[in-house]
Amino acid sequence: MPLQMNREVFVTCAVTGSGGTQDKSPHVPRSPREIADSAIDAARAGAAVVHCHVRDPETGAPSRRLDLYREVTELIRAADVDVVLNLTAGMGGDIVFGSTEAPFPVNAAGTDMIGASERMAHIAECRPEICTLDCGTMNFAEADYVMTNTPGMLRAMGAMMTEL
């Protein structure tokens, strides 16, 4: 009997993209209202999942502010669209190294390292249907920047997700 492939497709829309996308296009949403509206538009266009990061409304820079996540979540849920909300839990593991000849000390201004509980605070409060658990450490071409996810951090965050 030949193998039959599942032909069902689920479209996921990463509304803001990841990292510092705010200056790459004028169409990247910044405010909670813009992010929610983009997510709602994506759902109405057929996306089954919307993956959301929040931005500082003034600068557009990535943010972890609970009030911004709460507002985005509330606006999407109030819109009466059938969509799975996926909030990132990836922020807070960024190391920006010094130069290629002197990687240490790290660039303190660019480095954003926090613990598992703080990385999960908006997930615990907003209770999205799903959230990210980036199971690996990744390089990004933007700079000498590494997003770290140690085995211990992944176990801790995974346990928190399971409990929630």
CATH number of the domain that 34 lies in? 3.20.20.70
Q: Report pTM.
A: 0.88
β-pairing, 93-96 vs 84-87, is unpaired
Helix intervals (H) in the chain: 32-44, 66-78, 116-119, 121-126, 151-163
**Three-class DSSP category at 78:** helix
Show pLDDT as tens, one digit a residue, over the chain (164 residues).
677 877 888 899 999 887 666 677 788 899 999 999 999 999 999 999 999 999 999 888 889 999 999 999 999 999 999 999 999 988 888 888 888 899 999 999 888 899 999 999 999 999 999 999 988 888 866 667 888 889 999 999 999 999 99
On whether residue 77 sits in a domain, the answer given is yes
Q: How many angstroms separate the CA atoms of 121 and 125, rounded?
A: 6
Cβ contact 15:39 at 8 Å: yes
The domain of 87 spans 12-163
On whether residue 6 sits in a domain, the answer given is no
On whether residue 113 sits in a domain, the answer given is yes
β-pairing, 138-140 vs 145-147, is antiparallel
On whether residue 47 sits in a domain, the answer given is yes
Predicted confidence at residue 155, as pLDDT, reads: 95
Q: How many structural domains compose the chain?
A: 1
On whether residue 64 sits in a domain, the answer given is yes
